[in-house]
Structure 1
Amino acid sequence: MRTPPPTFTGTGVALITPFRADKSVDYPALGRLIDHVIAGGVDYVVCLGTTGEAITLSSQECREILDFTIRHVDERVPIVAGFFGGNYTERLVGTIRDYNFDGVAGIMSSSPAYSKPPQEGIYQHYTRVAEVAPRPLIIYNVPGRTSSNVHPETVLRLAEATDRFAAVKEASGVLDQAAQILKHRPDHLAVLCGDDPLATAMIAVGAHGGISVIANALPAQFSRMVRAALDSDVAEARQLHFDLLDVHPLLYVEGNPIGIKAACALLGLCDNYLRVPLVPLSAANEDKLREVLARVPELVP
């Protein structure tokens, strides 16, 4: 009997949160963005992640954005809800335990930030979350933001302890780390690339897809690239990778989601407003971004 694929495969997109000039949430723009990425072929959306500026949103705004996303997606693709690990496990556990996850297919949560816990602390943190989570969990390893790397041994230990862990979003930027997880993973655990420029390389060693930033602006191109890589169509995947290669650096040159917000604004998907301490992309880098976007094949603003 063939082993069924993991729950989360293909292209996920970490949705931005569009704002108006007064910094309130721009729900019509969010609806346009959702339609844009679904039409572009993404397999699922991630709401309230890093790219969605979730840490600048109130609890009520987070609830309202998730509810809007559930209504607007209308079951066209699965929805993953982001929950930041914070630095106090029991607070996160209480939030997840009391939350209404109707309409949500999965929960993505980063490891604890700021406190820099040891691997045993990270293991116990995720174990407590898994005890109360009513949906499959995606471990989000992003040491550039949390200052603590979730080692492959810890990811595997968690996945072997319970199948509640459906995936790991591996954003360490270290291909060998992803390969170590892929070599030893149980069948139910998907490994997802969290660094867009590494997606084709990570899929080549066995990854199941990625959760993307660039797919907010260029969902068709990124989704085609991921599908080609998963289908072992090396020539197609390589060409699509090269088509996007010059765009990636400008999305992160002043931080995420500053770059992707600028790209979406240039493409007419939303206005370019962020909440302080984030600020819009500088004029010089916006000009460069406009130039490289214009060179992406088949891009229709």
Structure 2
Amino acid sequence: MQELIGTGVALITPFDAQGNLDLKALKALVDFNIENGVDYLVVLGTTAESATLTKAEKEKVKACISAANGGRVPEVLGIGGNNTAAVVAELQETDLSAYTAVLSVSPYYNKPTQEGIYRHFEAVAKATTKPIILYNVPGRTSSNMAAATVARLAADFDNIVAIKEAAGDIVQAMELMRQTPEDFLVISGDDMITLPMVLAGGAGVISVIGEGMPAEFSAMVRLARAGHNEQARALQYQLMPAIDMIFEEGNPAGIKALLEHRGICTDTVRLPLVSASSGLKARLGDFLSDF
């Protein structure tokens, strides 16, 4: 799965000031990221506020991104949830032909056991022939996918090919690399520890800051993968304040505020999220001015 190596970005869904889809801004965001070096796009992940989108809106988002991309870079589609039967049905009903892989989050709120997580992804893997990227984000799901569970899934199902690992735990990331097959991709889902994960053998990142600072963040990942550690570290340390800030008041409120400064879209989010505070917006603006 060479298409999943490097920098992927978890695209937001831009809204206008009234909270309606802003497809013009979405096209601009896609162009901005591709022209600045990202390797692939993640469509309708959790950063896209997909939980607040109607089915019709999701179809418009997918069509807009596909048209704007024009086949320039691979696309990954987010399909996940905490109702296994519903996830399976969506996989079976969705035309996945345009997508390189599916990103599927570990079930949230239910807090399944490791056996429950295994059986959920067993059903997901059997529902499609598409490559599956597992998504572990215990800060949001309230249950961690243990390295042993991931290794078991990777060994048992040929189409479970990667994990987006967002536990923020470099030791767990290294255990994933140690325990999974050599061709299984461990992808960072935590912007702040992307560099150490790549240097430890990770395949790259699915990033949030990367869509706001695509040239710099994708360059950092490329430099690290090429062994140019000093230059990669320099970029990491320059970007660290922005990484902290965009998550300070929740995602995607922070990255939308940064993208508003960059002239891509408004900072509008849908309830229950609220836009970033004026203080945070000002600090993000200062960061961009000084960068």
Give the alignment's TM-score, normalised by structure 1.
0.94
Q: Which runs of 4+ in 1 moved over 3 A?
A: none
Out of 266, 272, 278, which is 1:277 matched to? 272
* 2:180 pairs with 1:185: yes
* Amino acid in structure 1 at the alignment position of 2:148: E
Out of 78, 85, 93, which is 1:82 matched to? 78
- What SS does the corresponding residue of 1:247 show, helix, strand or coil? helix
- What SS does the corresponding residue of 1:183 show, helix, strand or coil? helix
Match of 1:11 in 2: 7
Q: Deviations over 1:59-96 (max 9, x none)?
A: 22112211221122111000000112x22101110111
* 2:57 pairs with 1:54: no
- What SS does the corresponding residue of 2:167 show, helix, strand or coil? coil
Structure 1 position 50, deviation (Å): 1.5
In the alignment, structure 2 segments of 5+ residues that lack a partner are: none
8 Å contact kept, 1:18–1:273 = yes
In the alignment, structure 1 segments of 5+ residues that lack a partner are: 297-301
Out of 70, 88, 92, which is 2:87 matched to? 92
Structure 1 position 294, deviation (Å): 1.8
* 2:28 pairs with 1:32: yes
Distance 2:83 2:30 in 1: 32
Out of 149, 152, 177, which is 1:154 matched to? 149
Out of 118, 143, 159, which is 1:164 matched to? 159
Structure 1 position 184, deviation (Å): 2.2
Match of 1:121 in 2: 116
8 Å contact kept, 1:163–1:188 = no
8 Å contact kept, 1:6–1:189 = no
Please give the root-mean-square deviation of Cα atoms over the aligned residues, in Å: 1.0
Match of 1:219 in 2: 214
Corresponding residue pairs, total: 291
Structure 1 position 6, deviation (Å): 4.8
Q: Deviations over 1:199-219 (max 9, x none)?
A: 111111110100000111110
- What SS does the corresponding residue of 1:260 show, helix, strand or coil? helix
Structure 1 position 7, deviation (Å): 4.7
Percent identical residues = 41
Match of 1:299 in 2: none
8 Å contact kept, 1:8–1:166 = no
* Amino acid in structure 2 at the alignment position of 1:192: I
Distance 1:122 1:6 in 2: 27
8 Å contact kept, 1:11–1:209 = yes
- What SS does the corresponding residue of 2:4 show, helix, strand or coil? coil
Structure 1 position 134, deviation (Å): 3.3
* Amino acid in structure 1 at the alignment position of 2:224: A
- What SS does the corresponding residue of 1:46 show, helix, strand or coil? strand
Distance 1:134 1:66 in 2: 20
Match of 1:202 in 2: 197
Distance 1:66 1:106 in 2: 14
Structure 1 position 132, deviation (Å): 1.2
Distance change (3 Å), C-alpha of 1:6 and 1:121: farther
8 Å contact kept, 2:15–2:22 = yes
Distance change (3 Å), C-alpha of 1:293 and 1:280: same
Distance 1:89 1:20 in 2: 33
Structure 1 position 234, deviation (Å): 0.6
